[in-house]
Structure formats: C-alpha cells, structure tokens
Amino acid sequence: MTETTLVSLAAVAGLGAFHGANPGMGWLFAVALGMQEGRRQAVWRALLPLGAGHAVSVAAVLVAVRLLDVVSPPGWLALVAGVMLVLLGASRLVRHRHPRWTRMRVGLAGLTAWSALMATAHGAGLMLLPFVLSSAPAEAAGAHCHLATAGVGPGLWAVTAVHGGSYLLTTAVIAVVVYEKVGLGMLRRAWVNLDLVWAAALVATGLLTLWR
C-alpha cells in the first residue's frame, strides 16, 4: 500500500468521523430512541441500521460513477463531480434543513432507509469521489480519468469500508457518551452548526476538483 493510498484513506476516515459527529446524521436519533425506551440497548440497536444505511448510500454513488466511467469522455467525471459538489454545498449553505422522518419509532428497515436518505442529502458519496478519482498515467495521456482500482489509489470497497467504519465508530462513541454521561442539554450549551461547516467543505472540495 503506497503512502498516497494511506493518506487518502486517512482523509476518507476523517470525513466519516465528521459525519458521525454531526447530530443530524444519526447519533442524536440513537440517543433519542434510548431515552424514549429508557434503556441502553435501544441506543446500540440503532447503530447497525444507521451504519448500514450510510454505507449503502456511499457505495451506491461510487458504484454508479464507476459504471459511468466506462463510457465517459476523458476528464468528464472529475468535471461533473466538481460541479455537483459546488452546487450541493451552495444549496446547503442557503438552505440546510434535514429531511424529516414522520415518526421516531421506526423498525430496522426504516432506520436504514432514513440513514441512507440523510447520507445522500449530505452528499456523503459525492464528497468521496475526489479520493477515488485519479488521473491516468502520463504515458497514457488521453486515456480516461478513471476511478481507482487495484494498484491505483484506494479501491471503491476500501473507501466505503473505511468511511463507513469511521462513521459508525464515531456515532457509537458519541451516542453512548451522550446517553450515559452528558445528556442532550449539552446541545444547548455547546452547539456548533456542523451542517454549515460541511456545506463549506463541499464547495471547497468541488472547486479543488475542478481546478486540479
């Protein structure tokens, strides 16, 4: 594994941790379920579908783009990814509401779908595209800009696994600590709007993708 691949995976893990730290991406839901049922097991039960939904959303975007890569003109994917990141980030800066679920008590399938919806709305999969898009070698000038495969940066499934694992670990730690020790009152005392930070990061990443 090359140094570049390790750095890319570290960045992917960092993005997963950032998502996990955002209350709107799942841990607040898990804590609310625990408090609603009055038991720690409800918090733990929510974690698996939250992680599964997040991973499904990310994997779906990366696989779809991988399939498009087969027929796309050179450099097309990087251009489209950059534009979509900028537009999504700008839209969330202007309007950063979360999709609303109709009820708090949902089954495992419903919670998985909710998590996938939230990850998609936040552009989780799109944000990872710059880490798996890699330019063709110099001697292959004119070849497609292609998604990383074996031997060229982190692979699709490695990116999905590392990002999803980091998201789930961060979500689990925060949910348990808040439920067991801190309580939801801390949101009123120490609130940081991570949605706005994430929106700005989307725009910045999109611009860098278009510039490179």
Per-residue confidence (pLDDT) for residue 212, from 0 to 100? 62
Report the number of distinct structural domains present in the chain.
1
Domain span including residue 140: 3-211
What average pLDDT values come out for the chain (212 residues) when binned by 10 residues? 79 90 84 84 91 91 78 71 83 64 62 87 83 50 43 68 93 91 63 69 79 68
Per-residue confidence (pLDDT) for residue 137, from 0 to 100? 39
> How far apart, in whole angstroms, are the C-alpha atoms of residue 78 and residue 105?
40
